[in-house]
C-alpha cells in the first residue's frame, strides 16, 4: 500500500530532512511514526500525498510512484487518502456540517448522497449533534474530531495523521486515538505521527522511529 525505497528529501539551502528511508506499510496496517521534534516525521507524511516530492528514491502509494506523478494526477491520488495535519485548515466562516461537505462537493457527489456521507462521518466522530455549530465554538478535541470527519468522508483506504493529539488532554487524546483504531478495524490503513510515547505503548503494533531524518527502528513497542 505504501512503500518507501531509499527515499531522501533535501530542501533548498542544503538541509537534508530525510536520508535513505526504506520501509513498507501493508494494506490494513496500523503504524505509528515517532521521533524527536525535527526528526523528519512531517516531511515523511507530506511525501505520501505529494505535498512534497522526494529528492531521491521512490514513494509508491497504491501502486503509483508518487514522485513521477504529473501535477494533474495528484488530486486523484489524494481522493484515496484521508489527511489530518497539524494545521487543520478548518473553515471558520462555515458550519461544522459545511466543513465536512466541502470535500464531497469538490469530488462531485450528488447532494443527497453527500448529505448522507457527511452526517455518517460526523456521527462516527461524535459530532452529529454539533453540525450547525461554527468550528470556533468547538473545543480543541472537537475541532480535531471535525478534521478527522472531513478526512474520512470520502471513505479513503489510507488515513494519515500528523500529531493528531498534540495539545489535547489525556482523555481527549485517547478518544482521538480510539477513532483512528475504529477505522483501522474496518480495514483502513492508518499511519500516525506522534511524540506521545504513552499512546504508542497503548495502541501500537508497529512503530517506525526516526532520528535526524533516518529510520533507526522499525518494530513493535516494548511491553509495559
- 27-84: pLDDT as tens digits: 999 999 999 988 999 999 999 999 999 999 999 999 999 988 999 999 889 989 999 9
* Domains defined along the chain, listed by start: 1-80+157-224 (3.40.50.300), 89-155 (no CATH)
Q: Is 220's pLDDT higher than 70?
A: no
Return the pLDDT at 70. 92
**pTM of the full predicted structure?**
0.92
pLDDT of 124-180, one tens digit each? 999 999 999 999 999 999 999 999 999 999 999 999 999 998 888 888 899 999 999
pLDDT of 188-198, one tens digit each? 999 999 988 88
Q: Is 89's pLDDT higher than 70?
A: yes
Return the pLDDT at 224. 47
Return the pLDDT at 190. 97
Average pLDDT in the chain: 92
Question: Pairing state of beta strands 189-193 and 158-162?
Answer: parallel
Q: Is 24's pLDDT higher than 90?
A: yes
Amino acid at each position: 500500500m505504501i512503500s518507501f525505497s531509499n527515499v531522501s528529501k533535501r530542501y533548498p539551502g542544503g538541509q537534508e530532512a530525510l536520508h535513505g528511508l526504506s520501509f513498507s506499510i501493508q494494506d490494513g496496517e496500523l503504524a505509528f511514526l515517532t521521533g524527536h521534534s525535527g526528526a523528519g516525521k512531517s516531511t515523511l507524511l507530506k511525501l505520501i500525498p505529494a505535498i512534497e516530492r522526494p529528492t531521491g528514491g521512490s514513494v509508491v502509494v497504491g501502486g503509483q510512484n508518487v514522485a513521477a506523478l504529473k501535477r494533474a494526477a495528484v488530486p486523484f491520488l489524494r481522493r484515496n487518502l484521508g489527511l489530518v495535519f497539524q494545521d487543520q485548515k478548518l473553515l471558520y466562516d462555515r458550519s461544522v456540517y459545511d466543513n465536512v461537505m466541502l470535500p464531497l462537493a469538490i469530488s462531485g457527489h450528488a447532494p443527497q448522497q453527500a448529505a448522507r456521507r457527511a452526517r455518517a462521518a460526523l456521527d462516527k466522530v461524535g459530532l452529529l449533534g454539533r453540525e450547525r455549530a461554527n468550528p470556533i465554538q468547538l473545543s480543541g478535541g472537537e475541532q480535531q474530531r471535525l478534521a478527522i470527519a472531513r478526512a474520512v468522508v470520502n471513505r479513503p483506504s489510507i488515513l494519515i495523521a500528523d500529531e493528531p493529539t498534540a495539545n489535547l488532554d489525556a482523555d481527549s487524546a485517547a478518544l482521538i486515538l480510539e477513532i483512528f483504531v475504529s477505522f483501522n478495524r474496518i480495514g483502513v490503513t492508518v499511519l500516525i505521527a506522534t511524540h506521545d510515547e504513552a499512546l504508542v505503548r497503548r495502541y501500537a503494533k508497529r512503530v517506525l522511529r526516526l532520528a535526524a531524518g533516518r529510520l533507526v527502528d522499525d518494530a513493535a513497542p516494548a511491553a509495559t
